[in-house]
Amino acid sequence: MTTVLLPIALGIVMFGLGLTLTPADFTRIGRHPRAVFVALVCQLVLLPAVCFGLVLLFGLPPVLAVGMMLLAASPGGTTANLFSHLFRADVALNISLTAINSLISVVTLPLVVNLSLRWFDTGDPTLGLQLGKTLEVFAIVLLPVAAGMLVRARSAAIAARAEKPVRIASLVILVLVVAGTIVSNAELLAENVGRLAGITAVFCGVSLAVGFAVPRMFAVERRQALAAAFEIGMHNATLAVVIAQSVLDNVEMSLPAGVYAVLMFFFAAGFGMLVRDRRRVRPPTADVR
């Protein structure tokens, strides 16, 4: 499962993301520079700092601490785009943020993981994302996305027909990956769930709140701020699990992402309902420019 099925599962998830992307998604930053810049600062700078503070506050053991930092460094997943659609956020902006974050994470994710390994001193000198393993991260993140974009560029009709079943498959795969991780490591998870439930719940809630509140503080339009909240608050847990188990060969490090993946759907749904209810009191012309 770890060496074969997990990378394949992530490949399908990232391929599905690629089917939704066009080159315009990478250039949309020019049309919404403030929203994109604020969201990226939150995702790449503020969120790892918040996670680091939570790790110290909760006193996690070194390997679990690095697992939390790995999760914080992971970009938003395709489920963030789905939640943006469900709760009437700016889906186009969300897709653009996911695309840009996925590219940037090829550099930032290994950097955060390696710095975390040095800081928390896991006692295992073999752990780390050196050049060879960094190239693995590059391959499992970007190659499937590029393949999906290529399919869309060659035939938008085929991509449109494949997008929905691949998206459904991605959600099913995420559930199976998390369930498989939990079942196959039940004893290890049982020993650590008390440590992880609290911090992952707080991290998820804070991520969503930061992703919405900080853009609003900088006068980002409400629908765009909500898209940023889902992008920042719904990490690609599958990617974190695959890197921990397949690239770093450490199951324990994948446990924070596994627990987080279960909780994030409930937190994101509750957050979306809360914000959506507030939006309903606005007149229909509120978003007309």
Domain ranges of the chain: 5-278
According to the model, what pLDDT value does residue 147 have? 86
Q: How far is CA 230 from CA 119, 130, 147, 227, in A?
A: 29, 31, 25, 5
**pLDDT over 70, % of the chain:** 81
Global confidence as pTM: 0.79
Of 92, 106, 91, residue with least CA distance to 143: 106
CA–CA dist 122, 13 (Å, integer): 30
According to the model, what pLDDT value does residue 281 have? 43
pLDDT tens, the chain, 289 aa long: 555 566 677 677 778 777 877 777 677 667 778 888 999 999 999 999 999 999 999 999 899 999 999 999 988 877 787 788 788 888 888 888 888 888 888 888 888 988 998 898 776 655 566 656 667 677 777 788 888 888 888 888 887 787 778 777 766 776 776 677 667 667 777 777 778 889 999 999 999 999 999 999 998 989 899 999 999 999 888 888 888 887 888 888 888 988 888 888 889 989 988 886 454 444 444 444 4
> What torsion do the CA atoms of 95, 99, 102, 106 make, to the nearest 10 degrees?
-170
Q: If one looks up domain 5-278 in CATH, what number appears?
A: 1.20.1530.20
According to the model, what pLDDT value does residue 286 have? 45
Degrees, nearest 5: CA angle 54-59-64: 85
